[in-house]
Structures are given as structure tokens and as C-alpha cells.
Amino acid sequence: MKFTIQKSTLQGALQQLGKVVPSRSTLPILSSVLLSAKDGRLSLRATDLEISQIITVDAVMSAEGEVAVPQRTFLEITSEMPEGELTFEVQKNNQVQLTTAFGTYSIMGKPAAEYPSLPSVDRQQAVEIEGKLLRRVIDKTAFAVSRDDLKPSLMGVLFRFQEDNFIAVATDSHRLVRYTYHEPPKGGYVGDNIIPVKFLNILTAYLENVDMVTFNIGENHIMVQSGDTELYTRIIEERFPDYETVFPQDNDKKLVVEREEFLSAVRRVSIFSNRTTHQISLKLGADGLNLSTEDAETVSAAQEQVKGVFDGEELMIGYNANYLRDVISHLDSDTVKAEFSSAVSAAIFYSEQQREGEELTMLLMPIRLSE
Amino acid sequence: MRLLREIIAEHRAVGDIHRMPSALADQIAAGEVVERPASVVKELIENAIDAGATRISVLVEQGGQRLIQVSDNGRGMDAADLGLAFERHATSKLRSTADLAAIATLGFRGEALPSIASVAKVVARSSTGPEEGHEITVAGGQAGAVKPAPPVGGTTIQVRNLFYNTPARRKFLKAPRTENQHIIEVVRRFALCCPQIAFDLTHGDKELFRLPASDLAGRIGAVFARRYKNAIRPVALSKEPFTVEGFVGNLSLVRGRPKEQYIFLNGRSVQDRLLNSAVYGAYRSLVSRGEYPFFVLNISMPLEAVDVNVHPAKSEVRFRDEWRVYHVLKLAVTEAIKDIPGMIPDFERPFGPAPFPAAGGPGLAPALPVDSGTLFEAAPKPAGGEGAGTAGKPGDTGGGEQRSLRPEAPYNPELIWQVHNKYIFSQVASGVVMIDQHVAHERVLYEEALKAFNGSRRPSQSVLFPQVLELATDEYSRLIDMIPYLERLGFRLREFGHQTVIIEGLPIDVAWGREQEIITDVLDRTDGRMEGAEVFEKMAASYSCKAAVKAGDPLTLEEMRNVVDRLFATENPYYCPHGRPTVVHLSAAELDRRFERI
């Protein structure tokens, strides 16, 4: 195996693959990237067994072949090289030699046969989504995904492709985001898939200047192609909780408040909350709301009044300040509406002016405050 | 020589009832008092102490079977007393039934010497002054005449060929090595009971103890190992009419067997479950089941408050008011160890087989039938051993040392790492602290749970998708009883009928998905009894164990700091509710030693 490639091309590919390569793994081969030279094209592949990424780049081929090379070392040396060409050649026993105008460098590679194979994806089922829309969906939902592997179904975003709309839902059981787009995506596919959040975070980087993205949906995997890059992910095969039933129907205590004002008040007050519980309390009344917190451990306290319009019986309700901050900061209108029922039930948060064609709604569960 | 039971059988065969020959009666009675060589040693030392001795020497050969000799410098006996001493129920210590209610001496039954003399060959020499002494020889219960002898400055009793005439008893003797261990234990017991008396013990030509008169702390150091002196804390409490004095060990002296535990009641060694459990009660959350703290305690109380005449061996006692004794003892020990949780256990021989021989071990001849390390520290230290780096202070650097980290910050939030997803390491000025993430979090949750039961309810994070928990009938009704307590911890539960409850809210530290496991474990471990502090402790222990982060859970920097900050804010940061250590300190000096820098 031998090829010549522009340093910047190789460096760019290795950098992108670095996001997939796991930082710690029980399988050592996963810290390598697989290079394949075939049919005049060079492809580089990385995987963490859940997500795989393939980047195909231009190179001048001298001899076909495959080898796995430690991603980190490979990227380090490539980054330090001056602009220009470099030659990559595999010698005996997977010994890789890099040659530039200045010198030669040796890296011990690993046999390609050890590298996990690529999942196969049935490309018959496909959905097309606008790149900009997908970016927005990921931005608005990914934050609410659970990081706790006790509930695997919550470690991804539910993508629900329906005949007349498209819904994305994420929750960690304490808060929930539901994003609805009122047009069905192109392709005619109908179905639910829970997509790992790590995949979505990698994918979002490729969506900046992309008009349309195609989701190729297979039995267990999804493949998304964007230019020279193919991204594969395992679908989380779990049952997503029945989120529609938890949306409250009769929350009769309604608050309207300036978003920025609310958010910055929460930020300030939360600094003084208990570091473990992060609890702050909201006292909702005719003049808007009063935010307060008290931490017996550090003997600190804070309170702030936020002007707003409140309609309903007075209510005292507690929240995890971090969750509340996340929710408010991911809404994007000037004014936020919130609807409450009681101190132990879910409140609904949404933008007063929804964007055209979409509906973004969030649920937040309270903390029953300590005595 | 005929077996005792053959003699009995023969008498029985005759078929009539008659008075036993006195030699036989003595032999049978001897069975109660003289069980093994160590019991002879015990009886003779008791007599020596009762005679006001200030120095007692014990010499044994072949595990005491061939020879036991106890010499004292006490008051001694004149010729008449010496003759009477071997008659049954002859005693100088008890004259009337009234005396029995207030027994101040160790011996009193008047059984010891005749019993011993009925199963061995005994020579007793005694003198009351410097002028003249006497001796008497008794063999198989047959006393010879009292003869003049050179003065011995007290009393010396030689017991030879123990059980020579009772083969059945002899057969049950263990190897000399084992019998000798029992003797050592007896002498150790008296040595701890009476530190003001000098003791020595020699086995054959080996000196096992040479203990000059001392205070109790010094005696403990001499009897066990020098490091013990730095690992004990004084107990002193007076609560009329009781006084408790002595020492208890800190946690470096905790053993896996109930060995080094001594309670003396009015100067008499006693073994009493109730008293032991009072001490364990004080250590409660510091030691686990199967771990035994070190203690040497003297309890004084009015003589009439206790009955020691329960058993011939006199190690059992009965109290007039045993619960009061229990509480005073527990209180005394609790006071003594109340600051142990503030002491951090130092790094103690952690890397595989100890590179340094155990203190006192290597110098003792291998044949010596005692636990190495529990004897005096006469053994020379091999070069490069434990004491090598500390200029003439061997033993002081041993595992018994504990250091208080109070003056310096307990950890450094900037220099903190997770190791094996299991331990948190942090660099501090004096070295490295190592924290077990699971037990640390467990300790935090445990104290928070106890506080929640006693007052402030913990906050509860509501969940969007409440979990349904279905239980068997009896478990369901127990859970219903328990709901108020689980709610204090931060759970929110709702009865749903049909033996199901709905879990609507969780404690902040509990991840969604763990609630069912935690609740059923608390249910299992408390057995539904809803009274008493013990149940709260059990609930808190079960909850904290199940809810804490596990070994293997990766933690973010923020999570590590949070756990460690909260740990050091607890009342007992250095031990988990089961008594396992949460923090181990590796001193920079220890590191230097291991890399042979010093």
C-alpha cells in the first residue's frame, strides 16, 4: 500500500475522525483509524462500535491496500508537517513509513483484518431533511438527553417521521423537549428511531452549509451521507417512554415573562444554591415571580424579583436551577410563557411567538423543596 | 493406673450408696478448677496477688505438664498455715457467709490448692520473714509433714507432673505448644490487670515476658507491641457507684478475631457478653461485623453489686443492675473514641506481602508457641526494616500511627484524579490522600439520611414517568408503613392500590432507574419494624449503600469535588457506615522510604 497526499487533506480527515475515536476503550484497535486504498480513492474510517465515520479523500495511488494506524500519533505528526505532499507506504509487518521533503517517520500499524467491519445499511428507506432544520432540531433537543446509561432509551433523541409532520423528542425524565415540524420530510418514510446523541453532535458539524441531508435507515443502523463523509450510527433499540401522555392539559396558572431577564436572574440566583441539589424556588404572584435560594451548608442565600404577568393562584414551586436555565436558554423568543398546575406537577414552557411551521415545547418537573 | 471412670464404674457396680473416698472426691472437684495447666497458673497467680505480692515469676516446662512454678514475694505462710493450705475449703480469705457478699480477694473458695494437689505432685515453700521458711510436699492428695526449709521471701509453689494420676484428663491435653499459649494468655491477663506488679514468664529456657512494674499504658506496650502505646486512647469515667478506666484501641488495632479484649471487674478478669457488647456499641459505626476493637478496661463497683461466685473458674459474673453497667461502660468508651472519626488512618503496609517484617516477629525462635507480634518487642530489627529510616524510633512509624489532617486542607480540588473509576486521589502538602468513591458517597448519603429522619426532609426531584412498583401483600403493607420515612429521604410515593405504589419523585442523588432496587433493598433490610434508632440506621445504611456511586462509575471533575467536599463536611468522614475506611493517607515520607530516598 502506497499513496501520496496533501498534508492538509490528511490532517483535516484525521481531525474529523478524532471525534469518533473513543478516548478510552477496552478494544485497543479502536484508537486506530483504518486506511483503505482502493480504485484510486483513499478512505479513512473510525468507529467506537456505535458510530462509524468514513471520509474519502483524494490521493495519488501507487499501490492498493489496507492498514490500521493509531489516530493520535498519526494526527500529531501530520499536524506538525509543513504544507505540501507526503508519501505513505506500508512496509513489512504493517510498519508504516511517512516520507516528506524533510524526513521519514515510522509508525507501527495494525493489520486491517483486526478492524471492526462496517455496518450494512439498507438504503431503500430514506428520509430527506433540510440541513438547517436538522441543525436546529439537534440544537433544541440534544441538551435534554439523559447521560445515565440506566435508561438507554433516553440516551438519544426520538425522531418520529409521520405522514404529516416530523417530531423530535428528548428527555432525561426530569425535563422534556418536543419539537414539531408541521411538514412531513421528503421520501415518504414513516417510522420512529432513537438516535444516539453522540452521533447527532458529530453530525451537526457537517450541516452548516448543507442544503439537504439524507437519512438512510436500515434495520439497526442509520447512515447519513454528506459530501465525502459517511456517518453511521446504531439505532437505540428500546421503547421510548410514552411522552404524549405526560403533557399536562389543565395547567391554569400562567406566567409571561421576558426571557433574557428571567434567564439572567436564574443565573445569578443559582450561584448561591446548594451545590448538590441546585434547588431554587419560584414564588409566582401578581407581579411576576420571585426567585430565591438558600444553602444551609455554605450559609448563602439570594433572591430576585422578575417582573412579569401572572394569571392564577399564587404558587411556590422549586426547581433544579440547572434544568430551569437549560430550558429557558433553549427557547428563542423574547418572551417566554409558562403554565403551572401545582408544586409537584410538570410545568410547560414555550416561546410566546413560535417560529413559522414549528412548535417547540418543554416540560420541566419540579423539586419538592427540602424542609 | 486406673481410669477415673473405671473407679466410678466399680463403685457403681457394687450398687449401694456410700461416701466417696476423699481422694476421688478431690479428683472430681479438681476437674472443675483444674482444667488444664493454664488453670493451675491462674489459681497460683491469684493466690500470689491475694498475698500482696509485687513481683510474680512463672516458670513452666513442657506446656506446664512437667512443671509449673509460681514464685511470689508476698506475705507467705507460717508452718501452721502451710499445713492447712492443702485442706479442702481452707482459706484465709473468707470467714462467714456475710463475707461472701463482698468478696474482695481473687480466690475465696478454698479449693485451689487441694484440687491441684490431688492431681499433681506439689511442693510448697513459704516464709513469713527472713529467718526461716517451711515446705510441704503433697502428692495425689496425700500431704506429707511440714518441714523447715530455707526462706524464699514469699511463697513458691511447684506443681510437677500434672494429671499424673488422672490419665483421662491427661489425654485431653493439647500439644505443649497449645497449652503454653493458654498459659501465656493467663499471664497476659494478670499482667494487664495488675500493671503495678512485676511479672515474668519463662518457658523452659526461653523468657517470654519480663514485665517490670509499670502504668497500664506502659504495660500494654510491653505485653503487645510498642506501637500499641501510640494507638490507644484513655478511658476514664466515674458515675457513682461505677468507675471505668483503662484504654481502648483506635482503628489500627481492630482485629478480625475477638482476641485483644480485656475487661477486669474489681480487679478480676471477666468474660461477659453484655460488657463486650457495650464496648462494641460505642464503636458501632466505626467497625463492621466480624471486626473487633482492642480494649483493656477496669470496672470498679461496690462489691455487693456483683456476684462472682457463679462458677469455680470465676470468670462469669452476675450484676445486680446489668443495664446500668452496660450504659456506663458504653458511655465511657464512646467518650474515649469520639474523636477517632477525625483521625485519618495512615498508609499501612499496602503493597502485597509486607516488605517489612511484623514487629517483634523475626527475633523470636520459631519454636516459640506464641503469635509473633503480640509479644514484647525485644526482637532486634533487621537492617532496612521498619525502624531503619527513623533514627532510633522503631515502632513509632508502624501501622498504629494515626495522623490528624485537620491543620491542612483534607484534599486539593485542583490536584484531583480518578483512578480505575474507583478511587479519587488528591495531592496534599503531606503526601497523597486516596478516597474510595463509593464508600465516600455512602458516608455522605448515610449522614444526610440520618439527618433527614431526625429533622430536615431531603428535596425530591419529581419524574415525568412515574415508576410502578408492585409488591407481595405483606411487603406492600410494610412499604405503606415505611412511606413517611422514604419521603424524608426524598422519595415521593403514592399508594395506587392492588399492591402497587407509584414512585413519583427521587432523592437528588438517585438516578432514575435505581429507585426500585433501592426501595426493595431498604424494605428487605429493615424487616418492617418501624421503631427505634437502629431501624433508622439500617434504613440509612441500606439506602446509602444502594444509592451511592459505584466502583466503576466514571466521575467528572465536578462530581469528584462534590463528593469529596461533602465527605469532609460529614461528622465521620474517614469511615463508611460499615466501618470500612473511606480515606487512606500516603505520606510523602512513606513514598520516600519506599523509593529508598531516606
B251 lies in the same domain as B127: no
Domain end: B301, B322, B344, which one? B344
Q: Choose the closest CB to B459 out of A171, A176, A368.
A: A368
The arithmetic mean of pLDDT across residues B422-436, rounded, is: 90
In a domain, B560, yes or no: no
Domain count of the fold of chain B: 3
pLDDT at B386 over 50: no
Domain end: B150, B178, B211, which one? B211
pLDDT at B381 over 70: no
Q: Choose the closest CB to B464 out of A148, A279, A363.
A: A363
pLDDT at B371 over 50: no
Indicate which of B448, B451, B465, B561 best probes the interface with A, i.e. most A CBs within 10 Å of its own CB: B465
**B566/A201 Cα distance (integer angstroms):** 33
CATH code for the domain in which residue B290 is found: 3.30.230.10
Chain A (231-250) residues lying within 8 Å, Cβ to Cβ, of chain B: 241-243, 246
In a domain, B580, yes or no: no
B532 phi-psi bin (left φ>0, alpha ψ -120 to 50, beta other): left
Q: Nearest chain B Cα to A240, which residue?
A: B465
B257 lies in the same domain as B174: no
**A363/B12 Cα distance (integer angstroms):** 94
pLDDT at B392 over 60: no
In a domain, B446, yes or no: no
CATH code for the domain in which residue B98 is found: 3.30.565.10
Residue carrying the nine cell digits 391554569:
A252
B180 phi-psi bin (left φ>0, alpha ψ -120 to 50, beta other): alpha
pLDDT at B182 over 80: yes
B105 lies in the same domain as B142: yes
In a domain, B108, yes or no: yes
* Res. B364 pLDDT band, cuts 50 70 90: very low
Record: contact B460-A367, CB cut-off 8 A: yes
B147 lies in the same domain as B113: yes
For B446-498, the pLDDT digits (tens) are: 988 988 888 788 999 999 998 888 887 777 888 888 888 899 999 999 888 77
Contacts (Cβ under 8 Å, ≥6 apart) of B273: none
Domains of chain A and CATH, by start: 2-114 (3.10.150.10), 125-244 (3.10.150.10), 248-364 (3.10.150.10)
What pLDDT score was predicted for residue B108? 55
What pLDDT score was predicted for residue A80? 92
Residues of B in contact with A367 (CB under 8 A): 459-462, 508
What pLDDT score was predicted for residue A176? 96
Chain B (367-386) residues lying within 8 Å, Cβ to Cβ, of chain A: none
* Res. B393 pLDDT band, cuts 50 70 90: very low
pLDDT at A201 over 90: yes
B144 lies in the same domain as B22: yes
B148 lies in the same domain as B263: no
B89 lies in the same domain as B133: yes
Record: contact A346-B460, CB cut-off 8 A: no
Residues of A in contact with B513 (CB under 8 A): 148, 150-151
Grid coordinates standing for B359?
514487629
**B352/B348 Cα distance (integer angstroms):** 11
Q: What is the H or E stretch that residue B332 is in?
A: helix B322-337
Q: Which range marks the domain in which residue B288 is found?
A: 216-344
**A318 near B CB under 8 A:** yes
The arithmetic mean of pLDDT across residues A272-277, rounded, is: 90
What pLDDT score was predicted for residue B110? 62
* Res. B358 pLDDT band, cuts 50 70 90: very low
Indicate which of A24, A155, A169, A173 best probes the interface with B, i.e. most B CBs within 10 Å of its own CB: A173
In a domain, B31, yes or no: yes
pLDDT at B109 over 70: no
Q: What is the H or E stretch that residue B460 is in?
A: strand B460-470
- The residue ranges of DSSP E strands in A75-165, in sequence order, are 85-90, 95-99, 104-108, 125-130, 156-161
**B450/A156 Cα distance (integer angstroms):** 37
Record: contact B508-A277, CB cut-off 8 A: yes
pLDDT at A346 over 50: yes
pLDDT at A362 over 90: yes
Q: CA A109 from chain center: how many Å? A: 32
Whether the CB-CB separation of B219 and B191 falls below 8 Å is answered with yes
% chain B with pLDDT above 90: 20
CA angle A254, A260, A265 (to 5 degrees): 85
More reliable by pLDDT, B100 or B70? B70
In a domain, B576, yes or no: no
For A53-66, the pLDDT digits (tens) are: 999 999 999 999 99
The arithmetic mean of pLDDT across residues B134-147, rounded, is: 85
pLDDT at B391 over 60: no
In a domain, B569, yes or no: no
Residues of B in contact with A277 (CB under 8 A): 459, 508
CATH code for the domain in which residue B523 is found: 3.30.1370.100
Record: contact A318-B463, CB cut-off 8 A: no
pLDDT at B326 over 60: yes
B148 lies in the same domain as B180: yes
For A66-101, the pLDDT digits (tens) are: 999 999 999 999 999 989 999 999 998 899 999 998
* Res. B93 pLDDT band, cuts 50 70 90: low
For B192-223, the pLDDT digits (tens) are: 999 999 999 999 888 888 999 999 999 998 88
B149 lies in the same domain as B16: yes
pLDDT at B78 over 80: yes
- The residue ranges of DSSP E strands in B250-336, in sequence order, are 261-265, 268-270, 295-300, 306-307, 318-319
B197 lies in the same domain as B255: no
Q: Choose the closest CB to B512 out of A150, A320, A369.
A: A150
